[in-house]
Structure 1
Amino acid sequence: MREVTPASNAPSTPTVDARQLALALDHSANAILLCDRNAVIQYSNDGFFRMFGYTREEACGRQPQHLLLGTHTDAETIRQLGAHHLAGKPHRADVLGYRRDGSPLWVSVVATPVPAADGTVDCFINVLTDITAAKTHEVLQNKVLDALVREVSLAETMSLICREIERVAPDLRASVSQIDANHMLRIIAAPSLPTALVDYLNGQPVGVGGGICGVAAWRNRPLIVADIATDPLCAAHAGELLSSGLRACWANPIRSSSGQVLGTLAFHYLEAREPAPWHRALVELSLHLCALALEREHTRARVHQLAFYDALTGLPNRMMFTARAEQLLASCEQNGQQVAALFIGLDRFKRINESQGHSAGDGLLRDVAQRMAGVVGTSALFGRQVGDEFLLLVPGCSAVQTAAICERLLGAIAAPLNVGQITVNASASIGVAMYPVDGRDIDTLLRHADLAMYRAKDEGGSGFRFFSLDMNRVAQERVVMEAALREALRGDQLTLHYQPQLCSRTQQLSGVEALLRWEHPHMGSVSPARFIPMAEECGLMDELSLWVLRQACDDLGHWRQRGVPVPRISVNLSASNFDNATLPDQLRGLLQEYHLGAGDLVLEMTESVMLSAHARVLRNLDALHALGFCLSLDDFGTGYSSLSHLHRLPISELKLDRSFVQDIEHSETARSLIVSILRIGENLNKLVVAEGVETECQRQFLAAHGCDLLQGFLFSPALPAPALESWLEHHRGALPAA
């Protein structure tokens, strides 16, 4: 065989001399130590000097722990490191160490044994990496953000922030306070401060007399007190603070995204001192997390108020009233008590709105609600149903006592009131149903009280009536109405009207909403508010919705063929529709039949659909989203909308309920709630559509605050298909091509 010799240009192993190796080690960003078996430093690089401040001469011959350990270094971690070192095993750990000047830092220690020629461990190479910033983010930010995602309570989240601050910076004590409605500071979390001190500081005013945190919140800037014993700002509270072991404090205002001061984050020290540079970086991150948690809580409170309380009167809305009423009835059943259910409706309220304006009408409702609340007392449950209707539940009340309450209510309502430019003597009609005789559940009681109220109205108003069995003829009338609706579905009595939806910025047409209308040959125009609930109750909703979908697709298909520029149609579907397993297939078939795409339809749902726990509803929502349909949440704000549901479900659009839009011009609360909802939509990347826009002032407010789409009488009422075409032709110059 012929021997093969290596090519002359084959790569050779590079050589590194001692000088190059020393330069490489000294330029490393890490601190590198070479220690013998007894953990005595034999060599240190320049990185050790840069990180800790000790020269090579000062380090060699000493053990690392004698140089780097300090007051708050974890002794157990050091013991374990020493044990591994003596055993000749590799080891690593995160340690809170101290520089030569006494300032702390977190380091990652990685110790690698170097074997001798005989296989025994001769020495260790220790690599120390500064992980202060990473440790802060890892320990603090990740845990707090996880708590926010899991919707942990505010107190728990703030306690977590304080504990994690103290874990990465054990030389301080942290506390978080929130400004309450009375402009007082309420301590939310202070896990390491004495309970007596927390009790003493709780409720301090925001201002000069409010101690360190109160002044920081008032000035809206950080405040450092390096020595509590000598600072005049602490004169009033120094005794309590010093007796608790605190010698210095650094208070920082927690600001919202808009700059509003929400509370304070304070670092307390056990010795007189200034904050360390590390603490300044720590407070910047912590303030951001505290602001996130407080803003989340404020949003949650606003949404809760929006969901469960009437924006105009502050009374519980129908949902909250019903929930509390069920609890009250259960308690009265156990105690064998009677309960009076009152349904109160103002007489001729519409005339006041028409003659004096909606703001005057709203003022009347607020005044009347306040008067009635003064009559019913604290033991009764009082709420607003809708419009000019109120609900009242009085426990332990006999029929005779109920009659006396009705008389007092009517008298309070009838007292003169200034409404707009006139003085009126309002009146009301009250219907009464008694538990348990007239019903054993709240829905039955209110339905019977409602019937009795309408009987009182029919008899001239300004009076009250108790429910009686003869009023059940109303139920018989509903049977007739149901038969008429079935006939309307088979005949030619139902039509769709369309209301335009315009982009708030460009005024261009974004789509139209399909609204169902019923014109009966004898009863005339029947309100959807009357026949839609009935259709739900009698099982006609699926058939009715399919008719609406088919008619909407038919109209849109014809418009597309003729070049009429309608971008899309929004169709309202009920909770029962979304619980129908065949809904995706029905919609897919309609799109194919009329040569349309899923993007041509917007499917509107109520909040009850979004909150449904039925697996079939959730599967349908996912299937419709996968097909490309836009899902819209109708009447947002009138029920309980969980942000976690909004985040999880495939909802693309929120429809702001018209009741809030109507209050824009005269209610600061309504304006604040609207802005909150718009920010929710913006942060969750969802379109927001405002319904019921009737005035230029409303339009300007919504547009200025970023509402995407607007619809209402300011632009156009709901129109039959031919009238919509005429409207489009008239506005063609401002509308996009189809």
Structure 2
Amino acid sequence: MLANTYNPLLVVCSLLVAILAAYTALDMAGRIALAEGRTARWWMIGGGCAMGLGIWSMHFVGMLAFNLPIALGYDPAITSLSLLIAVAASMFALWLVCQNTLPMPRLVVGALLMGPAIAGMHYTGMAAMRMRPGIDYDATLVALSVSIAIVASGAALWIAFRLRQRSAGRFLLRAVASLVMGVAIVGMHYTGMAAAHFPAGSICDAARDGANPAWLALVVIVVTLAVIAIALIISVLDLRMEARTAVLAASLAEANKELAYLALHDSLTGLPNRVLLEDRLAQLVRGARHSKRRFTLMFMDLDSFKAVNDALGHHVGDKLLVEVSRRLRAALPSHDTIARVGGDEFVLLSNVEDATAAADVAQALTRAIEAPFEVETHAVHISLSVGIAIYPDNGADQQELLSNADAAMYHAKALGSGSCCFFEPSMQADVYEQMQLAHELRSAVAAGEMVLHYQPKFGAASGEAVGAEALLRWNHPVRGLLSPDHFIPLAEKTGLIVSIGMWVLDESCRQLKLWHCMGRTGWSIAVNLSPLQFVDDGLVKAVQDVLRRHDLPAHCLILEVTETTAMRDVDVSLTVLRQLRHTGVQIAIDDFGTGYSSLVYLKRLPATELKIDRAFVRQLSHGTEDAAIVSAVIALGRTLNLRIVAEGVETHQQRTYLTDVGCDMLQGFLLGRPMSADAFVEALMPCDAALAATHAR
């Protein structure tokens, strides 16, 4: 037999290549397990090639480490066949470990197929030497090498399946497993090499036309390490991209979750909003209809909230709503749904089935709200009006239940603050009337049903007409002439007040221009601004446009803003009023004395007039508290260089007193009622004649 030796350096290289090949196999298994569809197939092909090349390279480097005292070479075709066997076995292994499960029978079959394939690769590579006479194999060692290949393959498949998922700590486990698998593969190879015996006088036919081992060893090692390194680098880069994608996906999921929450909850109080309420109500109706159960819906509204909001500002009102929502939630079981559906409106869905229990719940809620709230050092007192509807007695679907509970709530408010009211069929007529009126109101301006009446204003000392205040009326085709009390609250609730207010502004200026053309150039017109119109972004431009359109001097237009509206948000009010004053129009503070003005803020308002509210004029007589208030307001106006207008003058005594204490202008039923434009001029003609006669004398 020929004596053989091994190159220690190449033996070590073969071991390192085996360990890297094993790690590549484990990493590829993890990549394929995470991939889907076509991506998974490409990873399997690429991983199988890299892993197969690594195993084959370990085998080939090990053979190159083997030395005989004769010239050696390797047949390229047979050597390539051994490489294909290694790649095919590697792809099979990766496919097997990337299945959803790996039961023991499948693991055994896989090991029995893969082990002989790896051994076949080894012995095919040995055949590439084309020894003559042939290699003499020790049957026992051959069987042992095949057994080692089978056991190593089974262990490798089991480890790869267990470690295919990426998680913390898996890197160290894969490194250890790769070391064990590499040693097993090397052990199989060198056991197979030990089984080979070369008879004396043997010749290697591949030495003449085969590849030269001297440079082939270097090429194989470099190429193999490069392929394995590229595969691992691509895997690492893909892993990093996957990690970044996972972070982005998590951020997107969190953002979507937040958006979904915001879409279904009120941003101020955190309570469910109308969308979520309607969804839960629909589910409750379906469940109750199926199981023949009853449940209660309550519509709630805060009494006096608007006054608090107007007096103390929106920021205080918002904080008050947050505190109200906390109390309501605290007073209810966790499984009940309390939702905010409007500014100060809430809806409760409760599993309570009878009227007595529903009344108890409503009373508990009203008691929870009655206790004073401490909001920014303010002690705020409000109450809760509750309308109650019970399914199915008061409504067979969600819209009917909500509508009927809303109707009951309005009846509760009419009974007084903090009242509760169960729905009754007669209430629906009022709700329908309001809905019908709102529908008709939308087309009233276009249909020409809105009209303006004008109440004259007179100089207190001269008694001469100085202008008028425009007052809106609705000439309803069925109901007749309606005063603002009948439709202005509805217009504000529906938002129509802005477009209606713009029409009033335009029509008032058009009429004033006609009076100017008739020679009444000294007259001015006063127009009331609603709270919604006052905060509308297009107000200033609309005022400028209407003055330009009707060619009116800006000082002839007086815009009246209630004291409450001006004090609602002082900073915003100052900005809007200054912009309006910059156009040249005059500003009147209406209903003065009825709100909660701070003189510190009042003196900053760019107003030109103060209008004393009719409430103080009504009971006016010498020595009364109202007289003292009127005198104080007039003195304040003089100090701030403001004109003082008193409205609601109905008696000669009131007129005389207001004139004596220094009012600049008066208006009221004593001097003239609101009337149409034509009647306005006719009514003032006798006054003009009387004044002319007085001046002539």
What is the TM-score when the length of structure 2 is the normalising length? 0.41
Higher fraction of helix: 2
The structure with more radius of gyration? 2
